[in-house]
Amino acid sequence: MGSSYSYSGVGKAVHSCITMAVSEFYMVNPHFQTRIILHHRDTHGDPLHALSAALDLLEKPKVQAIIGSESTAEAKFLAVLGDKARVPILSLSPCLSCNKHPYFLQVTQDENETTQFKGIAAMAESFRWKEVILICEDSDSGRDMTNTLQTKSILVTHRSLISTSWSNELLQEELHRLSTVQTKIFIMHASPSVASHLLVNAKHLGMMDEGYKWIITGKTMKFLNLLDDEVIESMQGAVGFKSYVPQSRDLHNFTSRWRRKYHVMVKLQEINSYYALWVYDAVSALAMAVEQVEQLKRKDVDTTASELTQSQRGTTLLLNEMLSISFHGLGGAFQLRNGKINAAQVMEIVNVIDKGEKRVGFWAPDAGFTKNIGSLNNSVSDEGLEAIIWPKGGITTNPTHRMLQVSSKILRIAVPPKFGVGRVFQVKYDAETNSTVVSGFCADVFRAAFKGLGRGISFQFIPFTGEDRIVNYNELIYGVYTGEFDAAVGDITITANRTLYVDFTLPYTDLGVGTLSRNAHAGMWIFMEPLSSDLWLVSASFFILLGFIIWILEHQTNKEFQGSSSQQIGTTLWFAFSTLVFAHRQKLQSNLSRFVVSVWLFVVLVLASSYTATLSSLFTIEQIRLASKGDLIGYRDGSFVQGDIVRNLNFKDTRLKPYYTSEEYADALSRGSKNGGVDAIIDEIPYLKGFLAQYPSGYSMVVSEVTTSGFGFAFPLGSPLVPELSRQISRLRENGSLAKLEKKWFKSDPHSKDSEPALKILNLKTCRGLFLISGVSMAVALSIFLFYFIHEKLHFTYTMLAGGKLAFIMRILNPKPVVELERR
């Protein structure tokens, strides 16, 4: 048998394992009549040298099998050569087109790039990485990796194809270009030689500093213990994926023998080098196959065939026997199917720390991340990884398998510990069933929406413990984000910051916050409140002025305004104030009086209507003067509403007082600001509806501002349940089920208002226009009357005034006095 490999660290490990395998195999099987003779060649790590060494082995020793090829490039050359020479090639590296080369046998476990790429994509999804940079040698592998990442909605912003022929200058130029982009997350899929140069240069360019994250595939990580110290130093903080090799007693014993024979004190992981274990098993398989071929030859009666034909037939038989060999070796199950060992289905995840690696966990396609694993056949639990130390000491908490498996699973649902009476959301502990029971509007909506999905999923409600009695909703959301819970249900408000960590369903409650206040207490003088004091004084003055003006205009000719002084005063005041209710009965004879009264009745109509509307509002709701300095405002303790009030409603923190329960709300409102309470409560509308359902009288709510996004159910990012539940919530709203649930928990309150009424008190400033109109009308009427009175005293006749035109006007305004003048 010929072996071609480099005398590098990998080559030396392979050489020692081949030598030990041959020696130990025949020591255990001394009855075998065949022996493998080894012929070594150095490939210098170059594909052309590997091809030359293989040709030399075929020509001079005329070997019957070749084991070697440390790289994919070497494997491609040897695969073609093996078919031409009809000699089995036991390759240590995969060949993308191995199915086309029947004499090419991949004797190392297939790294299974598909499984590895899915594991890396799962980690990127767990850490919520949205953009990565991919560095690879092979365009096909880069395309497969890109497609796998895209299935998780992860964008590959740059894909850099690195060639083995690149110089350090080209590598530095490419790395410098990549260092200028915003993305600091790199995934590298390259051979150890390329990766070594790339990582050393990356460290010199500062791309291994804090903030950078590197994921390295098994193509390099399986040789980590054989890399130079400088390369390992440059990899500090990187995370690697590689095929998992289960530990066994045989492996442990082999390691001990290997140490004793070569007098090298190394860590157990070094002899676990990816190549070394499978090479040992491959040599054992080859020895078994050679023995089987020799036995077949002895039974063959055809002894007349030429030497060349026998040689070719022997290699073909050797190939067939290799494909039929099956046993359990150091690396696990050894059986060649389709020319290669079965692919590993479990990936080991390591963190490069100091001069070696630290295992942080495993990943399997059907189970996700786990910290411990028994064997490949055992199932793994999705419990996350150990803490990862990234470059320069950046520590990341455990990722978990975030995509919720909704089939035949019990959902762990976090709920805020709302123990006690509550209509919005309530949590109780059932001692008989030893379980948590939730009720209230939020719980009913969740159950109704989930019922519409038609899935047989069970719930386990877990109260999220907060400090004291205050519920920290942000920590509850973070529990969903870290994978501690599968979802969160309750009175959870949708905010922009929380959507960075979880996905919310559509809101199922009213948006915004409302203002809660006491209803007005009808005091003795409440009828005085609609008008300001100055307006009351001016109105009373105008009533008296109106009576005086009418008395001047009417008392000379109208008998109803004549009589004794007391009678005239009583009649005048009665007439003036009776206009307030349009009950004046005195018949006016002067058109000037009628003009003045008509204008005044319009003023009275406006004032009376405004007074009635304001007084009615006062009987419905007590006005909240939130702009005054002394008023205090209450809010729900532990809620983000405090910041919302300060930001959007322009209140100062010093005017805000926290409360927690509905009972505290009622007590604070009943006492008011002057007695240690508050004048109003500002909270989200569902809470206020629950309060009004508990206290149906004495309090009212007015909608304030749409400054919140309502309540929603929280799920991990990317959960498939979010769009489905959102559709169910929309259906509940459309078919009226949501309204029925609201009616069930928040019964309608006659004191609640959909919009804030106009409760501005009328004052002189707002009504001065009305009094101006009335005053002008009085002044005009009085002026005309005085003009007539003066001319009457001076005995002017109307015929002398402007040719009789003014006399005509005077007859219209005051007809009776004009007639008496003409009779004179």
Question: Residue 643: is its pLDDT beyond 60?
Answer: no
Q: According to the model, what pLDDT value does residue 111 have?
A: 58
Q: According to the model, what pLDDT value does residue 406 have?
A: 45
Q: According to the model, what pLDDT value does residue 213 have?
A: 92
Q: According to the model, what pLDDT value does residue 305 have?
A: 46
Q: How confident is the model at residue 543 (pLDDT cuts 50, 70, 90)?
A: confident
Over its C-alpha atoms, the chain yields an Rg (Å, rounded) of: 48
Q: According to the model, what pLDDT value does residue 402 have?
A: 40
Choice between 425 and 702, residue whose per-residue pLDDT is larger: 425
| 247-300 pLDDT per residue, tens | 777 777 877 777 777 655 444 344 445 567 778 888 999 999 998 888 887 776
Q: According to the model, what pLDDT value does residue 93 have?
A: 75
Lowest mean pLDDT among 68-77, 227-236, 373-382, 449-458: 373-382
DSSP symbol at 674: G
State how beta strands 513-518 and 699-705 pair.
antiparallel
| 769-789 pLDDT per residue, tens | 888 888 888 888 888 888 877
* Average pLDDT score, the chain: 76
Helices 533-554 and 565-578 sit at what angle, rounded to 10 degrees?
130
Question: Residue 188: is its pLDDT beyond 90?
Answer: yes
Question: Which pTM value belongs to this model?
Answer: 0.45
Q: Which residue has the tokens 């569902």?
A: 686
User: What average pLDDT score do residues 430-452 get?
Assistant: 85
Q: According to the model, what pLDDT value does residue 683 have?
A: 81
**pLDDT above 90 as % of the chain:** 7
Distance CA(180)–CA(202), nearest Å, equals 13
Q: According to the model, what pLDDT value does residue 596 have?
A: 83
Cβ atoms of 272 and 245 closer than 8 Å: yes
Question: Residue 649: is its pLDDT beyond 60?
Answer: no
Q: Supply φ then ψ for residue 716, to 5 degrees.
A: -60, 155
| Residue 363: strand pairing partners | 347, 369
Question: Residue 485: is its pLDDT beyond 70?
Answer: yes
| 85-104 pLDDT per residue, tens | 889 988 877 776 667 888 88
Question: Residue 9: is its pLDDT beyond 70?
Answer: no
Q: According to the model, what pLDDT value does residue 495 have?
A: 86
Strand locations in 480-529 (E): 487-488, 502-504, 513-518
Lowest mean pLDDT among 88-102, 602-616, 621-635: 621-635
Q: How confident is the model at residue 317 (pLDDT cuts 50, 70, 90)?
A: confident
Question: Residue 601: is its pLDDT beyond 90?
Answer: no
Question: Residue 224: is its pLDDT beyond 90?
Answer: no
User: What average pLDDT score do residues 157-166 get?
Assistant: 83
Q: According to the model, what pLDDT value does residue 403 have?
A: 39
